A and B are shown apart, each in its own frame.
Chain A
Amino acid sequence: MKMRSAVITAKMLFLLAVGAAMAEPIDGPTVLKRMLEAEGRVAFTAHQVTTLAKGPSLTSEQIVYRAGFRGMRIEYLEPPRLKGEIRADDGRALVHFVPKANVVKIGPSGLAALRTRTEQAAQGFRKGNLSVELVGKDKIAGRTAYVIEVRPKLRRKAPTRKFWVDSEKWVKLKTEDIAPDGTVASMSYYTKIDFVNAIPDEKFRFEAPPGVRVERRMAPAPVSIEKARELVGFRVLEPAYLPPGFKPAGAVVQPFRRGKLVVIRYTDGVSSFSLFQTPGRMLKPRFLERLHEGPVQPDKGIYSWREGNLNLTIIGQLPMDQIRKIASSVK
């Protein structure tokens, strides 16, 4: 009998040892891969705190309901000016209720785009565009989290993103955006999280209460740059220079005044920028002076200029010298 139980114990130990040897090692890339996979499937409710440290200094508290790519709902608790606002996204449309303005804004679903972007990010990650490092373990909302740092591999002066990823469910529990100078630009984290099997669909829909104004803004679907060229009646320009790691991520053509506005989007997996082009008489030198140099509103991350009859603008999370370099290469 003793012999038999010893054999069983030995077999179990052997199986455990084999299992451990075959299991994927926990390193930075593995954590990121599992985090991206979890985006589309995990359901939970949570209390979230978001803090902006650069630009407007602001802290907000929200209740978050999330069911993968199927639905997301955010209810704002703080600050007082945002209290009562609701963003409900059912994967088809995003409804944003602003009670203080008595308005419901209906726009395109962010989740549908998130699904596409997650797949693109996973591809970019597999191609080795990102540098991912496991930097430690921590506790967030009472749960154990792996801490990883992600940055574009090819750029030295780039923002870093730090994630605290749940060690069991692989959901990101905390995110920090770190500027190239090492300071934290923003962070958001859950103070409480409950993982659930499902959240009813009704939670991700929102019916405008009676008497509330409804504003609809439906964005067109992204297309290829070639398709965008076919859709507009003017020559679409592209930059000859892109910062290392950046690639086009599609284009969008939308009506703008009496013409069309083309947006070409670029990303390196962490940062992104968009190039806008529309013909017409706009962007006079006086306006450009105000936009670029102040004194009213010197805008960082935005650069506008004219090329023939085209008005062009670049907006992105890049240093201004990079944005200007891209702009000067647009032909």
Chain B
Amino acid sequence: MDCKAFSKHIGDYVNRTLSGSVADEAKAHLSACPQCTALVKELEGASAMVRSLHRVSAPAGFEQRLRDRLAACKAPETADAGRIRGWLGAIRSAFAGAPVHPRRLALRPALVGLLLCAAIAGSMLFVGRGRYSERADMDWAYIETCREQHASFASTNPLADESAIILRERARDLGSDL
């Protein structure tokens, strides 16, 4: 048994539910693999801690109510979620042939998937922001055109203080330069 095969049975090994030849192979692997041994010890420690906690009984019918509620709340899988699940599966299968440590094996596809998702999300955000920025520039240019147009109209009102209108426009053009 190698690390990858052991990782599939590590839960049963810690719970002592493994039997037969699989249990013998697992024991043989642990005797030769200090990394899996350390992992088993960690899991056994955590399991012991959980077992040492006081048991609290749930109210009658709690489990059924919880199951019913979960069933009612379960959202249908979206196309995006299905796609992400597919990508993760593909990444996992890509790593399937490589002989690596089970913990790393478990983490690596998730990490790679996460990085891939982050890269995709980041690039989408970047492209989106670029597009938004371009559109916002267009929008501001439109507002500036409107402002100029209105100022040219307002300044020709014979009752307007045209020198103030002109000065206000120049102040807006120059901003903090004034």
> Which residue on chain B has the smallest CB distance to residue A250?
B153
Q: Any chain A CB within 8 A of the CB of B172?
A: yes
Q: Any chain B CB within 8 A of the CB of A198?
A: no
Q: Any chain B CB within 8 A of the CB of A203?
A: no
In terms of DSSP, what is the predominant structure of the interface of chain B?
Answer: helix
Residues of chain A with a CB closer than 8 A to B153's CB: 113, 249, 263, 265, 272, 274
B172 near A283: Cβ-Cβ < 8 Å: no
Residues of chain A with a CB closer than 8 A to B145's CB: 256, 261
Residues of chain B with a CB closer than 8 A to A272's CB: 150, 153-154, 157, 160
Interface residues on B, range: 20 to 34
* Nearest-Cβ distance from residue B49 to partner chain A, whole angstroms: 49
Contact with A along B61-89 (1 / 0, CB 8 A): 00000000000000000000000000000
Bound: A276/B172 CA distance, A: 20
Bound: A278/B145 CA distance, A: 12
Residues of chain A with a CB closer than 8 A to B167's CB: 50, 52, 58, 60, 186
Q: Any chain B CB within 8 A of the CB of A62?
A: yes
Q: Which of B145-178 contact A (CB under 8 A)?
A: 145-147, 149-150, 152-164, 166-168, 170-172, 174, 177-178
Bound: A114/B167 CA distance, A: 18
> Which residue on chain A has the smallest CB distance to residue B139?
A287
Q: Any chain A CB within 8 A of the CB of B103?
A: no
> Which residue on chain B has the smallest CB distance to residue A288?
B139
Chain A CB within 10 Å — which of B157, B160, B166 has the most? B157
Tell whether A81 pairs with B146 under 8 Å between CB atoms, given A110-B155, A272-B157: no
> Which residue on chain B has the smallest CB distance to residue A113?
B156
A287 near B135: Cβ-Cβ < 8 Å: yes
Q: Contact partner of B142 among A81, A274, A278, A317, CB < 8 A? A: A278
Q: Any chain B CB within 8 A of the CB of A313?
A: yes
Bound: A85/B178 CA distance, A: 13
> Which residue on chain B has the smallest CB distance to residue A263?
B149
B171 near A87: Cβ-Cβ < 8 Å: no
Q: Contact partner of B161 among A107, A108, A177, A265, CB < 8 A? A: A177
B156 near A114: Cβ-Cβ < 8 Å: yes
Tell whether A55 pairs with B171 under 8 Å between CB atoms, given A274-B146, A276-B149: yes
Q: Any chain B CB within 8 A of the CB of A237?
A: no
Tell whether A113 pairs with B152 under 8 Å between CB atoms, given A56-B168, A87-B166: yes
Q: Any chain B CB within 8 A of the CB of A270?
A: yes
With contacts A55-B171, A263-B153, A286-B136 known, what are 11 further pairs, Cβ within 8 A?
A: A121-B157, A175-B161, A186-B164, A186-B168, A256-B145, A265-B153, A272-B153, A274-B153, A311-B142, A313-B146, A316-B150
- Which 8 pairs across A and B sit closest by C-beta, in order of nearness? A113-B156, A186-B164, A56-B171, A118-B158, A175-B161, A315-B150, A274-B150, A287-B139
